């Protein structure tokens, strides 16, 4: 079986959103949106990978694919829940009202409807796509409750003996909203409430709502949140929230953070790990496919797992202890760095200092962490070539991970993260580098 380390990549062809991220029966399962025929978006399936440590991933056969009238044109994003020893996968089921004659994987005029469905698995590895599916929430025909097309991405959780579902939606494709359903058995669902906000894009996708201690954290991916003509206009954000389970009343502030300030990341999903930490993984968008020796041309990859914590009213995304332990061997001065394997740079910058990673430049300017990928992203001028965080208040401790086509920068212990997709990094480093670290298994 195909394997990935640190960052899960498409097994070939296309992937996007992480789905069904869960720790189940001693393994981490991560499903993902997958088009298995070309490195472009198409009829969605759920790909599947497992890991014992969140670092080493093994790709498995496709888990969920279209078989029903209601999901014939796509198994869109969703989540996972363990109940009575079974793994329940919840997803959005897509049916085109008219198919593009020149490309059956697209709806003509973007005309389709979406319902919510589920599939059971008794062990997390076997999925009967003909017998074990069930449509649980039909297409909404009442606009006041939910949009018939753009209501999707169910995140399901259990709290105090009840099951809750949050769905992303829209009001007439002009303002994002989320919709809440509730169930006593995780199968039969009733509409409860919704949140309408004016600052969360035109369509709100991939919502997630969870507790960390006494805090509630909301994550979501609003479309057209940065409507300035540059790619990408759709981005993942997070905010502290107030939520009343009995009524499903949600309150979100006007102020939010981006999950990642490189703005390539989209569609995040969280899970509780084996030790009770809240862990998040997100999809890194790529404008073009990559050629590889171990798989067919591929497009799309996931971030490394990040621990979500709340400190003094701020949401942190920290390096997971498993990653920290794995990327822990310090290179000595006489050891050579293998640029084809993942490596890690730790440094503390001053305002006049920089790090250059094969043409990708990281520096501090006016108390802001900045990154310039213009030399390693040359053919995509309509994309954002520079990225920056909010002000860092005079502290510039950086933990940088480099792995093929991705660079992730954790600033000040995860107060902000800035990640970018890159192409054609040169095999050279320069600037202020305090420490270079590689995988512990290389000892």
Active-site positions?
Answer: 17
Strands 329-330 and 435-438: antiparallel
Say if residues 400 and 409 touch (Cβ distance below 8 Å). Answer: yes
Can you tell me whether residue 178 is helix, strand or coil?
Answer: strand
Tell me the longest C-alpha to C-alpha distance in the chain: 68
Residue 30, both tokens: 């991560």
Quick count: other Cβ atoms within 10 Å of Cβ 427?
A: 9
Q: Which residues, in sequence order, are bridge partners of residue 207?
A: none
Residue whose C-alpha is closest to residue 421's, from 232, 204, 227, 207? 232
Residue whose C-alpha is closest to residue 221's, from 204, 209, 241? 204
Can you tell me whether residue 39 is helix, strand or coil?
Answer: coil
Please tell me the distance from the alpha carbon of residue 153 to that of residue 94, in angstroms, as a whole number.
11
Give the phi and the psi of residue 110 in degrees, each rounded to 5. 55, 40
Residue 325, both tokens: 């332990």
Residue whose C-alpha is closest to residue 187's, from 83, 321, 114, 314? 83
Q: What is the CA radius of gyration of the chain?
A: 21
Q: Which residues, in sequence order, are bridge partners of residue 17?
A: none
Please tell me the distance from the alpha carbon of residue 18 to that of residue 24, in angstroms, as a whole number.
16
Work out the end-to-end distance of the chain between its first and last CA atoms, rounded to an integer number of angstroms: 25
Say if residues 65 and 129 touch (Cβ distance below 8 Å). Answer: yes
DSSP structure class, residue 249? E
Quick count: other Cβ atoms within 10 Å of Cβ 365?
A: 11
Give the phi and the psi of residue 322 in degrees, each rounded to 5. -65, -40
Please tell me the distance from the alpha carbon of residue 405 to that of residue 202, in angstroms, as a whole number.
30
Give the phi and the psi of residue 273 in degrees, each rounded to 5. -80, -175
Secondary structure (H, E, C), 262-282: CCCEEEEEEEECCCCCEEEEE
């Amino acid at each position: 079986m195909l394997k990935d380390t640190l960052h899960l990549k498409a097994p070939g062809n296309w992937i996007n959103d992480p789905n069904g991220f869960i720790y189940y029966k001693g393994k981490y399962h991560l499903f993902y949106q997958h088009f298995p025929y070309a490195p472009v978006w198409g009829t969605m399936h759920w790909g599947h990978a497992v890991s014992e440590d969140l670092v080493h991933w093994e790709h498995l056969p496709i888990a969920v694919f279209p078989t029903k009238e209601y999901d014939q044109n796509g198994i869109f994003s969703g989540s996972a829940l363990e109940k009575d020893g079974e793994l329940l996968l919840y997803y959005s089921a897509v049916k085109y009202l008219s198919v593009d004659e020149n490309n059956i994987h697209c709806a003509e005029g973007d005309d389709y409807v979406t319902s919510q469905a589920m599939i059971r698995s008794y062990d997390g590895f076997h999925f009967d796509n003909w017998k074990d599916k069930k449509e649980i929430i039909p297409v909404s025909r009442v606009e006041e409750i939910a949009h018939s097309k753009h209501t999707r991405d169910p995140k399901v959780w259990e709290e105090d003996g009840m099951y809750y579902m949050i769905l992303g939606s829209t009001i007439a494709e002009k303002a994002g909203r989320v919709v809440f359903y509730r169930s006593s058995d995780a199968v039969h669902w009733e509409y409860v409430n919704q949140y309408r906000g004016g600052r969360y894009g035109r369509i709100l996708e991939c919502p997630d709502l969870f507790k960390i201690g006494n805090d509630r954290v909301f994550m979501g991916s609003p479309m057209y949140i940065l409507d300035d003509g540059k790619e990408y206009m759709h981005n993942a954000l997070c905010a502290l929230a107030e939520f009343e389970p009995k009524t499903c009343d949600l309150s979100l502030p006007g102020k939010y953070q981006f999950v990642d300030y490189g703005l390539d990341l989209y569609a995040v999903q969280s899970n509780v790990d084996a030790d009770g930490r809240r862990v998040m993984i997100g999809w890194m968008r790529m404008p073009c496919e990559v050629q590889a020796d171990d798989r067919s041309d591929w497009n799309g990859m996931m971030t490394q797992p990040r621990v979500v914590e709340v400190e003094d009213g701020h949401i942190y995304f920290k390096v997971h202890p498993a990653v920290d332990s794995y990327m822990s061997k310090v290179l000595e001065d006489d050891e050579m760095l293998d640029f084809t394997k993942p490596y890690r740079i730790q440094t503390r910058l001053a305002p006049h200092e920089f790090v250059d990673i094969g043409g990708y430049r990281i520096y501090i300017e006016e108390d802001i962490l900045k990154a310039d990928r213009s030399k390693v992203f040359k053919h995509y001028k309509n994309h954002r070539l520079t990225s920056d965080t909010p002000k860092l208040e005079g502290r510039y401790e950086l933990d940088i991970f480099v792995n093929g086509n991705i660079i992730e920068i954790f600033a000040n212990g995860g107060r902000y993260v800035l990640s970018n997709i890159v192409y054609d990094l040169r095999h050279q480093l320069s600037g202020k580098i305090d420490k270079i670290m590689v995988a512990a298994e290389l000892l």
